[in-house]
C-alpha cells in the first residue's frame, strides 16, 4: 500500500435499513456517527451506504464510488440474512476484508465470526475497538488479542476480552451526521435526533439490553452525557442544518435520572427554543417527571404499554409495572399536555384471547389515542425468545416476517394468522370499543382454523 494511502485509509460502513422501503437512504445512527467522527479524528476516510436488503447492484455502485480498503458491516439481528450474502460478495467478488459490528455480532458472536468472508468482529460498543483495530491494520501491526475484537487468523480464532464500556460519554466526539446526508433527513422530517445516554437500567425479556449488560458483567450499564455536552451538540446541529423544527431524544434512559432531568429542564429552554419528544418508560413517570418534561418543552412521549396481561408483563416481558402505574403514568403526562405514542405488543408468548382482551381493556383505560401495534418477534438470545424456542413455537418463517408485520410464532393458544389479524385491527377495535361485539369478533378469530 502506498504511504499516502496508508495515511488516508478509506473505510466503508454498510448499514442495513428497512427492506420494505423502496429507496434505501442512510438512517441516522448515533453509534455509527460517533464511529465515523472517531475515524476521521485518526485521519481515516469514512462513508456510510444504506442497503435495504441484499442489493448487489447498489453494493457494486458503492464500491466503485467509495473505493474502500476496509468494509465494516453494521449487522442488525433482523437483517442478518441479507448481511451474510452481502459480506460474501464483498469478500469474494471485491476481495476486501470485512469486519462486523452491532447487535447481531454482539448477541451471536460465534455465529457472526463464522460467516464466510468475515475477518474481524467488534463486540459490544464498537467505536474504540474499531478504531484501534483499523489503526493496527493501517500500520500493519498484529491486532490479535485487542480488547473487544475477535479475529480470524491463519492460526484460528483469536478472541480479545470484552472491552470495558466508555464511562465518560463526553469524551466521545459528536456523531458525524454528514455521512448520513443529514441535511436531507432534516429537510424531509424537520427533526433532529439525539442520544442523551447509553445503556438501560431495565431488563425487558424481549430486549437485547441484558446481553450487553452480561457482556461487561455490570448490573447497570447506563451512562449519561452531561447536560452541557448534549445541549452543545443540539446547538451545533441546529446551526449546521437548516430547518430543524423539533428535537427527538431516542434513547430509552433519557428521563430515568431525576437529578439529571432537573438540570436538563432548567437549561434546555434557554439554549434551545424547540419542542422535543423523548422515550419514557411509564413506571418512571411521577408528577415531577411529567412537569419537568412539559415545562422544558416536551410535547410528545414515546413509550411502551406492552401487554395488558400482568402475567405476560411479569413473566415474559419482565416489566414489573402494575396496571395502575401504566394508567397513572399516562394520566400524569396527559394532564401536562404531553401527547403519548405507545407500542402495544400483540402475540407475545402465552398470548390468548383473554390476554388480548386484557390488553384492549388496559389500553382503553389509559386513553392513549396513538397506539402502534407491534407484532412480537423473538430476537435470538433474549429471554423471551429462549422461552419460545424451548416451547417449540418458533416457525421457520424468519426475519422477513418482522419486516412484513407478520408473526413468526406458531403457538397453540393463538395461531399466527390470528395474531396478524388482531394487530391489524387493534386501532379500530379501540376506537369502536363495545365489549360484547369485540368479544364476539375475538371468538370468531380464535375459533378460526389454526394454520399460520
Ligand atoms: S426499556 Fe427499552 S432499552 Fe431498556 S430493556 Fe426495555 S426495551 Fe430494552
CA-proximal residue: ligand 1, atom 7 (nearest): 207
Q: Please check whether residue 279 is in contact with residue 303, taking contact to mean a CB–CB distance below 8 angstroms.
A: yes
E strand spans, 83-229: 98-101, 118-122, 149-153, 156-159, 191-194, 197-198, 223-224
Which grid cell sits at 243?
430547518
Do the bridges between strand 45-51 and strand 98-101 make them parallel or antiparallel, or are there none, so unpaired? unpaired
Query: Is residue 411 packed enough to be buried (19+ CB in 10 Å), middle (13-18) or exposed (0-12)?
Result: buried
Instruction: Give the C-alpha separation, 408 to 206, whole Å.
Output: 14
Residue 435 vs residue 320, higher pLDDT: 320
**From the CA of 199, how far away is ligand 1's center (Å)?**
9
Do 18 and 95 belong together in one domain?
Answer: yes
What pLDDT score does 413 carry? 87
Q: Which three cell numbers stand for residue 209?
A: 439490553
Domain that holds residue 11: 3-159
Binning pLDDT at 50, 70 and 90, where does residue 158 land?
very high
Q: Is residue 451 scored above 50 in pLDDT?
A: no
Looking at the fold, whether 413 and 379 belong to one and the same domain comes out as: yes
Assigned domain for 144 exists:
yes
Are residue 255 and residue 355 in the same domain, yes or no?
yes
Q: Is residue 317 part of a domain?
A: yes
Q: Is residue 254 part of a domain?
A: yes
Are 82 and 51 in contact by the 8 Å Cβ rule? The answer is yes
Instruction: Look at 427 and 187; give whichever has higher pLDDT.
Output: 187
Assess whether 276 and 336 both reside in one domain.
yes
**Ligand 1 midpoint to CA 329 (Å):** 17
214 domain-assigned: yes
Do both 122 and 193 map to the same domain? Answer: no
Exposed / middle / buried, residue 48 (Cβ in 10 Å: 0-12, 13-18, 19+): buried
Residue 281 Cβ inside 6 Å of ligand 1? The answer reads yes
C-alpha cell at 408: 413468526
Residue nearest to atom 2 of ligand 1 (CA): 252
C-alpha cell at 32: 455509527
Residues 149 and 248 in one domain: no
Q: Does residue 195 sit in the same domain as residue 340? A: yes
101: in domain: yes
Say whether both 200 and 135 belong to one domain.
Answer: no
The reply to whether 329 and 381 lie within a common domain is yes
CB 433 within 8 A of CB 371: no
Q: Collapsing DSSP states into helix, strand and coil, what is residue 193? A: strand
Residues 231 and 353 in one domain: yes
> Distance between CA atoms of 279 and 256, rounded to whole angstroms?
10
Alpha helices in 21-164 (DSSP H): 30-41, 56-66, 80-88, 103-107, 109-113, 127-139
Structurally, how many domains does the chain consist of? 2
Give nearest CA residue, ligand 1 atom 8: 207
Q: How many CB atoms lie within 10 A of CB 369?
A: 13
Q: With helix as H, strand as E and coil as C, how does 404-450 read?
A: HCCCCECECCECHHHHHHHHHHHHHHHHCCCHHHHHHHHHHHHCCCC
Residue 103 falls within a domain, yes or no?
A: yes
SS3 184: helix
Q: Are residues 238 and 387 in the same domain?
A: yes
Residues 346, 420: Cα–Cα separation, whole Å = 8
pLDDT at residue 122 in the model:
98
On whether ipTM exceeds 0.95, the answer is yes
Residue 175 lies in a domain: no
pLDDT of 31: 97
CA atoms within 13 A on the CB side of 86: 30
207 lines ligand 1 (CB under 6 A): yes
Domain boundary among 125, 159, 193: 159
Look up the CATH number of the domain holding residue 424.
3.80.30.20
Asked if residue 297 and residue 370 are part of one domain, the reply reads yes
Instruction: Indicate whether residue 211 lines ligand 1 (CB < 6 A).
Output: no
pLDDT digits (tens, 9 = 90+) for 388-399: 999 999 998 888
Q: Which of 77, 202, 306 to mutate to test the pocket of ligand 1 (most atoms within 8 A of CB)?
A: 202
CATH code at 89? Answer: 3.40.50.2300
Residue 166 lies in a domain: no
Query: pLDDT tens across 30-71, in order?
Result: 999 999 999 999 999 999 999 999 999 999 999 999 999 999
Q: State the DSSP code for 224.
A: E
Amino acid at each position: 500500500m502506498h504511504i499516502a494511502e496508508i495515511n488516508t485509509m478509506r473505510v466503508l460502513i454498510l448499514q442495513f435499513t428497512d427492506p420494505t422501503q423502496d429507496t434505501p437512504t442512510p438512517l441516522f445512527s448515533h453509534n455509527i456517527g460517533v464511529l465515523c467522527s472517531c475515524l476521521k479524528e485518526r485521519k481515516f476516510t469514512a462513508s456510510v451506504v444504506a442497503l435495504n436488503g441484499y442489493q448487489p447492484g447498489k453494493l457494486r455502485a458503492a464500491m466503485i464510488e467509495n473505493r474502500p480498503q476496509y468494509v465494516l458491516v453494521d449487522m442488525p439481528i433482523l437483517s442478518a440474512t441479507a448481511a451474510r450474502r452481502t459480506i460474501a460478495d464483498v469478500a469474494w467478488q471485491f476481495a476486501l476484508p470485512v469486519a462486523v459490528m452491532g447487535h447481531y455480532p454482539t448477541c451471536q458472536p460465534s455465529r457472526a465470526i463464522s460467516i464466510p468472508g468475515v475477518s474481524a468482529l467488534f463486540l459490544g460498543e464498537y467505536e474504540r475497538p474499531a478504531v484501534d483495530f483499523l489503526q493496527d491494520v493501517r500500520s500493519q501491526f498484529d491486532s490479535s488479542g485487542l480488547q473487544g475484537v475477535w479475529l480470524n487468523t491463519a492460526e484460528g480464532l483469536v478472541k480479545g476480552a470484552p472491552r470495558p464500556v466508555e464511562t465518560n460519554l463526553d469524551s466521545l466526539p459528536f456523531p458525524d451526521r454528514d455521512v448520513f446526508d443529514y441535511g436531507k433527513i432534516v429537510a424531509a422530517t424537520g427533526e433532529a435526533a439525539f442520544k442523551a445516554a447509553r445503556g438501560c437500567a431495565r431488563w425487558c425479556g424481549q430486549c437485547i439490553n441484558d446481553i450487553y449488560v452480561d457482556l461487561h458483567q455490570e448490573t447497570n450499564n447506563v451512562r449519561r452525557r452531561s447536560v452541557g455536552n448534549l445541549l452543545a451538540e443540539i446547538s451545533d446541529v441546529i446551526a449546521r442544518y437548516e430547518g430543524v423544527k423539533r428535537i427527538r431524544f431516542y434513547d430509552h434512559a433519557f428521563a430515568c435520572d431525576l437529578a439529571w432531568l432537573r438540570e436538563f429542564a432548567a437549561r434546555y429552554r434557554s439554549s434551545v427554543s424547540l419542542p422535543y419528544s423523548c422515550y419514557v418508560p411509564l413506571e418512571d413517570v411521577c408528577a415531577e417527571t411529567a412537569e419537568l418534561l412539559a415545562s422544558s418543552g416536551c410535547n410528545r412521549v414515546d413509550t411502551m404499554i406492552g401487554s395488558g396481561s400482568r402475567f405476560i408483563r411479569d413473566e415474559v416481558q419482565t416489566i414489573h409495572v402494575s396496571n395502575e402505574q401504566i394508567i397513572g403514568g399516562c394520566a400524569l403526562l396527559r394532564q401536562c399536555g404531553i401527547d403519548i405514542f405507545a407500542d402495544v405488543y400483540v402475540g407475545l408468548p402465552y398470548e390468548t384471547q383473554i390476554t388480548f382482551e386484557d390488553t384492549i381493556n388496559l389500553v382503553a383505560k389509559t386513553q392513549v389515542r396513538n397506539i402502534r401495534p407491534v407484532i412480537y418477534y423473538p430476537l435470538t438470545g433474549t429471554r423471551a425468545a429462549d422461552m419460545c424456542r424451548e416451547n417449540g413455537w418458533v416457525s421457520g418463517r424468519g426475519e422477513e416476517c418482522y419486516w412484513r408485520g407478520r408473526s413468526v410464532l406458531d403457538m397453540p393458544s393463538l395461531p399466527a394468522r390470528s395474531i396478524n389479524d388482531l394487530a391489524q385491527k387493534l386501532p379500530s377495535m379501540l376506537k369502536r370499543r363495545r365489549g360484547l361485539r369485540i368479544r364476539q369478533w375475538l371468538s370468531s378469530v380464535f375459533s378460526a382454523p389454526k394454520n399460520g
